[in-house]
Structure 1
Amino acid sequence: MENKLKLYGFNNLTKALSFNIYDVCYAKTEREQQKYIAYIDEQYNSDRLVKILTNVSQMIGAEVLNISKQDYDPQGASVTLLLAEDAAIKRADSRLVLGHLDKSHVTAHTYPEYHPETCIATFRVDIDVETCGEITPLSTLDYLIGSFDSDIITLDYRVRGFTRDVSGKKLFIDHDITSIQDYIDAKILARYDAIDINVYQANLFHTNMLIKELDLQNYLFNVDANELPPQTRLDISSSLRREMIEIFSGRNIY
């Protein structure tokens, strides 16, 4: 991406990245589940999401034009940032900038919930980054994965529209890509099982990621794993793994 193509006119390619993570926890009682959801809701409120998305915007070289945020009762939050390229702002008059506002945006939504029978609470974050022109959101993946406790991750990347090179040839994508995994640090990838479903003819790329190793203590809320009987630890670990596999697979298995 460092070697920029010479284009004829404006680059109107639209690049959309959908980043979804699931953080799973074991909470035995309904009260523990509610406390966990309240804790997550506080940790990932709209103010924190604004900070994360603002950093994402800076990483892709975009200017934040407007921020809209909302926390919900009983839980959940939504954040939307309108973006524009720095270069577009510097070279345009005010009327052109106003016409450019909807070309790029970043949104985030949170969905805390819990299963009434398996004692498993799940926290989901959906982040969508849509950009126009030369800006691409793929470089933000390492930061996004590290910003959350990501047990399961689903990633979708699509390039739409076209632009032209100086000879007039249509370009339906302006950078090389074979897999979303190529844009994730090798040390991060080593912690996950990952599969791709890509449609290269349509510039559609999809990756699912599932954490490999479970440290049970990380999945217990207000409980010391060492105080639990061995069989209980095994049962909880099995329940967590089954829940993760179903989310990773996108279907009911057990």
Structure 2
Amino acid sequence: MEIKPLRELKLYGFNNLTKTLSFNMYDICYAKSPEHRQAYIEYIDEEYNSERLARILKDVANIIGAHVLNIAKQDYDPQGASVTMLVSEDQEVATLSPSAVVAHLDKSHITVHTYPESHPNKGISTFRADIDVSTCGKISPLAALNYLVTSFSADIAILDYRVRGFTRDLDGKKFFIDHKINSIQNYLSKEKRELYQMIDVNVYQENIFHTKMLLKDFDLDNYLFGMAKKELSPNGEKKN
């Protein structure tokens, strides 16, 4: 969905507003045996390795109109991966002096960290990914929201969006936000909104927006790893 500006502001100096979208997603499954649990961890580690995560973040930068300045990525032993990407609003920033670039970049970055885990006894295995897209200037991370939800196919997602700081117009008036928003849900496509149950907890006075998402449809076969629903005993199916 288009990010709608309040109006075309003529600013005194740089747009100092910082817009941050934090996206925490969870994938959940039941892996009965230790072998299945280990296989699930290995599958997630391969599916969301640092190379693929870096490609996803590059796509996010392209969607929001940011210029990539630097990428650092790491796969961890025994599991998990992280990618950090420094971005600027446009290519002109990259030509500034090093001190100016550092000052600008501490507010413009995209990061992802993954946390594959399994319970040693009960068979519940989970994958959590934490993504932060933080920008300053005119660009907004909300433009990449639908792409992120699609890329991680979340069963559960927790979204936080916050606008910090202020900017001034030519008359010196402060503006604490430069676009219209009353819910993160407004920036999800109709197709995505139909897939999830959602609830908002917003603090409008502070430009803080929070949305929790839970996938509506539940098919047990989609939450079993290494086995099918028909292989569960009636008691096991009820328990899960």
- TM-score, L = length of structure 1: 0.87
Residues 161, 98 of structure 1: alpha-carbon distance in 2 compared, 3 angstrom cutoff: closer
Paired residues for 1:68-107 under 5 Å: 68-86=72-90, 88-89=92-93, 92-95=95-98, 96-97=100-101, 99-107=103-111
Q: Deviations over 1:28-83 (max 9, x none)?
A: 11221111011101110100100000100111100110000010000000100000
SS in 1 for 2:218: coil
CA distance in 1, matches of 2:154, 2:103: 37
Structure 2: gaps of 5 or more residues? none
Q: Is the 8 A contact 2:70 2:86 kept in 1?
A: yes
SS in 2 for 1:190: helix
Greater RCO (CA < 8 Å, at least 6 residues apart) = 2
Q: Is the 8 A contact 1:84 1:103 kept in 2?
A: no
CA distance in 2, matches of 1:227, 1:34: 19
The one of 162, 166, 182 aligned to 1:162? 166
The one of 10, 21, 30 aligned to 1:17? 21
Match of 1:49 in 2: 53
Confirm whether residue 39 of structure 1 aligns to residue 39 of structure 2: no
Shift of 1:148: 1.1
Moved more, 57-66 or 226-235: 226-235
How many aligned positions are there?
Answer: 235
Confirm whether residue 142 of structure 1 aligns to residue 146 of structure 2: yes
Shift of 1:113: 0.6
- TM-score, L = length of structure 2: 0.91
The one of 177, 181, 198 aligned to 1:177? 181
Structure 1: gaps of 5 or more residues? 237-254
% identical aligned pairs: 60
Moved more, 132-141 or 225-234: 225-234
Q: Deviations over 1:104-129 (max 9, x none)?
A: 00000000111234311000000011
Match of 2:218 in 1: 214
Q: Is the 8 A contact 1:88 1:97 kept in 2?
A: no
SS in 2 for 1:177: coil
